[in-house]
């Protein structure tokens, strides 16, 4: 199986021992209590599950600025985005201190991790602007990722973590949430060698289904992991439980048995386009996938990124030896009326726009909200029914 990123083995920061976790929770009662952002809680969950291998904690200022500028830490470890604990106020925190990080997304704000403070550093306005522009490619506060980042504060608290739980991801999505450690174990149990990973924050329509099949065939894959984001999204995106149900329905009816693993991970969407695409590749290498599909406008939002910028960054900015996972570059995929099958548009240069079945996201939402299924060339009827039920429930 493919090695984890930058290491011989995963470095999950979750405390496996129930007895040790109990001791740490007792210790946490006496520690300073720090309510962190949703982004920091998600970082803790990802560090806990091994997805951020080879990192062993939250980054300091030198690492953050180095990653923003060159996608490497100050010690030369390749990493595409800063992994932070940013606070609005940290005057009482000191180097060497142990603090309890409280989860903002769970009722009662339980302790998600204990952090041993390495440094407490101020990020200037210029620092914040540099990081924002490097990661998101814009300073526009209307960008949902930028808005979420700027809301976190400018006091940076770095240091090692002992992760005590996986927030709401493990409880609300018990059948779907899996750590990188767990996914590697299942890949090994299934005996898969070549494994294609597909990232999604949306339900999967016919084109996505066929794209996974195309990638599996092209890479001679033993299986495909449909790996959905379970964390915070922007307003209007479909909730994770609805996506989960629709994807499972599609897999059950339209993929060969035992060819697909449906799973999810606990992270908030950054909408950072190219940089986030590289981060997604790191996640998938760490969970054991050998190939990763990067499609049109991967991890994008609005018109902030070019349609294929998320593919170009791997050729233009990611060093050849930075990652072992192979990228499967996909074009826009749609149903061809001429050929009566889903194709990549680049593969059919003789087609005109009207030769494809293409619906805008707005039009699809309108149809579903009216209880009208999109054409079967666009969406499988079983998937459409789940989505229609969801959209109609919003009006009831």
Please state, in angstroms and as integers, the Cα–Cα distance from residue 261 to each residue in 182, 228, 292, following that order. 12, 11, 14
H helices of 255-380, where? 274-287, 309-316, 361-369
Q: Which of 154, 202, 296, 365 is catalytic?
A: 202
φ, ψ for residue 205, nearest 5 deg: -95, -175
Q: What confidence score (pLDDT) does residue 238 get?
A: 85
Question: Is 346 annotated in the active site?
Answer: no
Question: Is 21 annotated in the active site?
Answer: no
Provide the token pair at 20: 């040790």
Q: What confidence score (pLDDT) does residue 396 get?
A: 63
Q: Tell me the whole-structure pTM to 2 decimals.
A: 0.95
Q: Which of 21, 98, 190, 201 is catalytic?
A: 201
Per-residue pLDDT tens for 62-105? 999 999 999 999 999 999 999 999 999 998 999 999 999 999 99
- Angle of helix 125-136 versus helix 61-70 axis, rounded to 10: 40
Provide the token pair at 280: 């997604």
Cβ atoms of residues 230 and 266 within 8 Å = yes
Q: Walk me through the domains of the chain, giving residue ranges and CATH numbers.
A: 18-170 (3.10.400.10), 176-395 (3.40.50.620)
Q: What confidence score (pLDDT) does residue 369 get?
A: 85
Collect the ranges in the chain with pLDDT lower than 50.
Answer: none
Cβ atoms of residues 273 and 310 within 8 Å = yes
- Cα separation, 332 vs 34, in Å, equals 44
- Judging by beta carbons within 10 Å of its beta carbon (0-12, 13-18, 19+), is residue 88 exposed, middle or buried? exposed
Provide the token pair at 176: 């779907």
H helices of the chain, where? 18-28, 38-48, 61-70, 125-136, 144-150, 167-172, 180-190, 206-218, 240-254, 274-287, 309-316, 361-369, 381-395
Cβ neighbors of 109 (< 8 A, separation 6 or more) are 35, 102, 103
Please enumerate, as own/partner, the contacts of 346-354 that have beta carbons within 8 Å and a separation of 24 or more: none
Q: What confidence score (pLDDT) does residue 240 get?
A: 87
């Amino acid at each position: 199986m493919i090695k984890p990123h930058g290491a011989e083995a995963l470095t999950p920061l979750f405390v496996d021992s129930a007895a040790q976790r109990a001791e740490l929770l007792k210790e946490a009662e006496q520690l300073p209590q720090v309510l962190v952002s949703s982004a920091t809680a998600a970082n803790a969950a990802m560090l806990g599950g091994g997805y951020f291998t080879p990192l062993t904690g939250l980054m300091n200022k030198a690492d953050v600025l180095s990653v923003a500028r060159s996608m490497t830490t100050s010690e030369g470890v390749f990493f595409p985005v800063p992994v932070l604990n940013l606070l609005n106020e940290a005057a009482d925190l000191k180097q060497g201190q142990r603090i309890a990080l409280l989860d903002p997304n769970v009722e009662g704000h339980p302790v998600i991790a204990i952090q041993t403070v390495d440094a407490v550093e101020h990020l200037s306005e210029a620092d914040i602007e540099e990081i924002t522009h490097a990661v998101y490619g814009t300073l526009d506060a209307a960008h949902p990722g930028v808005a979420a980042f700027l809301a976190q504060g400018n006091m940076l608290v770095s240091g090692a973590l002992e992760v005590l739980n996986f927030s709401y991801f493990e409880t609300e999505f018990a059948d779907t949430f899996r750590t990188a450690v767990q996914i590697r174990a299942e890949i090994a149990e299934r005996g898969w060698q070549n494994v294609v990973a597909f990232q999604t924050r949306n339900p999967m329509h016919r084109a996505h289904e066929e794209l996974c099949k195309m990638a599996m065939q092209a890479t001679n894959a033993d299986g495909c992991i449909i790996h959905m984001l379970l964390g915070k999204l922007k307003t209007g995106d479909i909730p994770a439980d609805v996506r989960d149900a629709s994807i499972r329905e599609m897999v059950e009816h339209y993929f060969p048995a035992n060819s697909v693993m449906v799973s999810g991970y606990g992270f908030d969407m950054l909408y950072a386009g190219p940089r986030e695409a590289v981060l997604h590749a790191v996640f998938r290498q760490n969970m054991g996938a050998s190939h990763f599909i990067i499609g049109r406008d991967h991890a994008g939002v609005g018109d902030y990124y070019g349609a294929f910028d998320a593919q170009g960054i791997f050729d233009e900015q990611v060093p050849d030896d930075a990652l072992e996972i192979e990228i499967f570059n996909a074009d826009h995929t749609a149903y061809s009326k001429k050929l009566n099958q889903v194709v990549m548009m680049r593969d059919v240069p003789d087609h005109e726009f009207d030769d494809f079945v293409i619906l805008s996201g707005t039009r699809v939402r309108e149809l579903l909200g009216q209880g009208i299924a999109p054409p079967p060339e666009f969406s499988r009827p079983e998937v459409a029914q789940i989505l229609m039920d969801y959209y109609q429930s919003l009006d009831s």
